[in-house]
A and B are shown apart, each in its own frame.
Chain A
């Protein structure tokens, strides 16, 4: 490890599915402790693939990803995944479990005692701004925004130091999304998790990202802090800025 704070490090990572096209090409990047690294890119750019390689939902073709200084291939895959919180769009909630059971999935499979799980569920619901009565409801009885909060709470349940988030607010209306983004930021100020956040939305990237990595067709095009990102001369970044209108105003709102 070059920097002691690098929690996740991609070293020349490529991914190519069996008899398919290369999806990720020679990716090198580090995720520092406590930062939100945003992987920005359009659909098919490889950003979700990079995320799934991190918790080994997909296996690297060449290169290596080091998690806390150890190559992911040397981790026991189940231990690795329980060490990393994972939140995806709302579909990831289990429809046959109550909200409480959904949030308590990982604590339950880690054999926490029942009362400790209950206490943790109540604590997390409070943390993500949901009333505790909601624990006994089912996902289909909640609004989209509530479901998403449950998704975040579930990812945080066993207090993993690392969080992977794949467009967690993608399916929400703009107002709810904006609320959740702000709440997530203030949550992150308290929790200081190491977060990899995938989005195709430049506004979201600028709002949430400590640093932004732009991916295009499986390659890393640019990586910099959000403030530097908007000034980047890189043609693709400029194109993004034009497509999303004046992004400066978005950052101004923060």
Chain B
């Protein structure tokens, strides 16, 4: 069975798996953004938390993905459904680039700008939302980009625990020793990663602060 034939015959299934893949990655990335960016902001405010938070995110990052899926299996509620588990694992992996980029993005804002803002009487909230976050936006977005692209790739492994997605075709192809089936999973996943990378790269450029002379 060649590649194009396989695609043509399994069009519906590939579409479903692609959507499933997108869903798992999308939810995981959104959750990671919702947790990671506030954590990154928090450690710019509370320097004492900086080391433990970044170290924890670092350690999570070093756990091999299959092992992490395995660790999470016995967890209550989470372990009941493979999709939930995959989302949680991908979210945990995405935390590090988000926390780190939020932190370095805010810390990288010109000290003179921050000092002027505080000196003029901006409250901490106003400083964060009007000055720090807008000026750090492109760096934070670079973190989202890394997190998203990595998640798209990692999510293929989630099929090993039955979470579905394009990884299912890859694993099936491996079992059948059939390259066409492997490619039917791998190519859409790669295209998805490329598209996400291009889109966020473009956004990142648009948000980059005007170059100061």
Residues of A near any B CB (own CB < 8 A)? 52, 55, 57, 78-82, 86, 88-89, 91-96, 105-106, 109, 138-140, 154-155, 164
Give me 17 other A-B pairs in contact (C-beta within 8 A), A78-B121, A105-B117 excluded: A52-B119, A57-B119, A78-B123, A86-B119, A88-B115, A89-B112, A91-B110, A92-B113, A93-B116, A94-B116, A94-B131, A95-B113, A96-B209, A109-B123, A140-B211, A154-B120, A155-B120
In the complex, the chain B residue whose C-beta lies closest to that of A139 is B212
Contact B118 A81 (CB under 8 A): yes
Task: Return A245 CB to nearest CB of chain B, in Å.
Answer: 31
| Pick from A79, A88, A96: contact of B116, CB under 8 Å | A88
In the complex, the chain A residue whose C-beta lies closest to that of B117 is A94
Interface range for B: 20 to 34
Query: With A and B bound together, what is the CA distance between A89 and B110 in angstroms?
Result: 12
Query: With A and B bound together, what is the CA distance between A139 and B119 in angstroms?
Result: 19
Contact A95 B209 (CB under 8 A): yes
In the complex, the chain A residue whose C-beta lies closest to that of B111 is A91
Residues from chain B with Cβ under 8 Å of A164 in the complex = 119
Task: Return B204 CB to nearest CB of chain A, in Å.
Answer: 15
Query: With A and B bound together, what is the CA distance between A86 and B212 in angstroms?
Result: 21
In the complex, the chain A residue whose C-beta lies closest to that of B135 is A96
Contact B120 A95 (CB under 8 A): no
Contact B120 A106 (CB under 8 A): yes
Which of B120, B131, B209, B210 is most buried by chain A, counting CB atoms within 10 A of its CB?
Answer: B120
Residues of B near any A CB (own CB < 8 A)? 110, 112-113, 115-123, 126, 131, 134-135, 209-213
Nearest 4 A-B pairs (CB), nearest first? A92-B116, A91-B112, A81-B121, A86-B119
| Pick from A79, A81, A91, A138: contact of B120, CB under 8 Å | A81
In the complex, the chain A residue whose C-beta lies closest to that of B131 is A94
Residues from chain A with Cβ under 8 Å of B115 in the complex = 57, 88, 92
Query: With A and B bound together, what is the CA distance between A93 and B120 in angstroms?
Result: 11
In the complex, the chain B residue whose C-beta lies closest to that of A85 is B120
| Pick from A79, A88, A89, A140: contact of B119, CB under 8 Å | A88
Task: Return B176 CB to nearest CB of chain A, in Å.
Answer: 54
Query: With A and B bound together, what is the CA distance between A105 and B116 in angstroms?
Result: 11
Contact B209 A86 (CB under 8 A): no
Contact A106 B121 (CB under 8 A): yes
Task: Return A17 CB to nearest CB of chain B, in Å.
Answer: 15
Contact A96 B122 (CB under 8 A): no
Residues from chain B with Cβ under 8 Å of A52 in the complex = 119
Residues from chain A with Cβ under 8 Å of B209 in the complex = 95-96
Task: Return B31 CB to nearest CB of chain A, in Å.
Answer: 28
Residues from chain A with Cβ under 8 Å of B212 in the complex = 91, 95, 139-140
In the complex, the chain B residue whose C-beta lies closest to that of A51 is B119
In the complex, the chain B residue whose C-beta lies closest to that of A105 is B120
Query: With A and B bound together, what is the CA distance between A57 and B117 in angstroms?
Result: 11
Contact A55 B119 (CB under 8 A): yes
Query: With A and B bound together, what is the CA distance between A98 and B126 in angstroms?
Result: 17
Query: With A and B bound together, what is the CA distance between A164 and B113 in angstroms?
Result: 16
Query: With A and B bound together, what is the CA distance between A109 and B113 in angstroms?
Result: 17
Residues from chain B with Cβ under 8 Å of A89 in the complex = 112
> Can you list 14 A-B contacts (CB < 8 A)?
A57-B115, A79-B121, A80-B121, A82-B120, A86-B119, A88-B115, A91-B112, A91-B116, A92-B115, A93-B116, A95-B209, A105-B120, A106-B120, A109-B126
Residues from chain A with Cβ under 8 Å of B118 in the complex = 57, 81
Contact A95 B135 (CB under 8 A): yes
